[in-house]
Structure 1
């Protein structure tokens, strides 16, 4: 009986860990033509520090080297203690008065983000990031 239940218990433990464990979020921002520099400046000068204030841990920021996406794309990865924490962190970030002011000021001459893509990820057992 125990041998039959052991795989189920292991699966449930793994599922519980995955549901509540550290998660990474891959985000890809597409900027309108000519606005990538403004988007990068906003991240460098404001967004990253506001992320930190709300528990959004920056892992890294990149721009593609080649092709059309090199002209309009910012890709970054952030980490959260859990998926639930991510939801809370983003809600607090969006409501932050400093963020609202920065967003409004940086878009005074038009939107600097035309598309946002987000993918939540769990590290593999062989990943150097856990």
Structure 2
């Protein structure tokens, strides 16, 4: 098992649009495609208050690859993305890290 930490850096003033997209579309599509997401986080105190962060849990790289491919090819995702970006881009940057838990920390 491994984890994927994803960070979205929103364009100024666009975070509410991205959060609404997560609430109304993205999280449901994650479930539809077998993607196990933890809570979403915003930066309350720190260097970048334009960021949204979340963690996905994966059983294998094959599972991850298939889920992301299916998610990105889902017509409902294309519709949600287009609707949220009808007035222009809302995310400046997306980054991700694949993380392995230290075994003793899981006890």
CA RMSD of aligned residues (A): 1.4
Counterpart of 2:8? 29
Matches for 1:115-130 after TM superposition, within 5 Å: 115-128=93-106
Unaligned runs of 5+ in 2: none
Whole-angstrom distance in 2 between the partners of 1:92 and 1:63: 27
Please give the secondary structure, in 1, of the residue aligned with 2:76.
helix
Unaligned runs of 5+ in 1: 1-21
Alpha carbons 1:58, 1:79 under 8 Å: kept: yes
Counterpart of 2:43? 64
> Per-residue deviation at 1:42?
0.6
1:40 aligns with 2:40: no
**Structure with max Cα Rg:** 1
> Per-residue deviation at 1:44?
1.1
Bigger fraction of residues in strand: 2
Whole-angstrom distance in 2 between the partners of 1:67 and 1:119: 19
Bigger fraction of residues in helix: 1
Scaled by the length of structure 2, what TM-score is found?
Answer: 0.93
Compare relative contact order (CA 8 Å, sep 6+) and give the higher one, 1 or 2: 2
1:97 aligns with 2:97: no
Please give the secondary structure, in 2, of the residue aligned with 1:126.
helix
Q: How many equivalent pairs are there?
A: 107
Whole-angstrom distance in 2 between the partners of 1:50 and 1:88: 14
Scaled by the length of structure 1, what TM-score is found?
Answer: 0.77
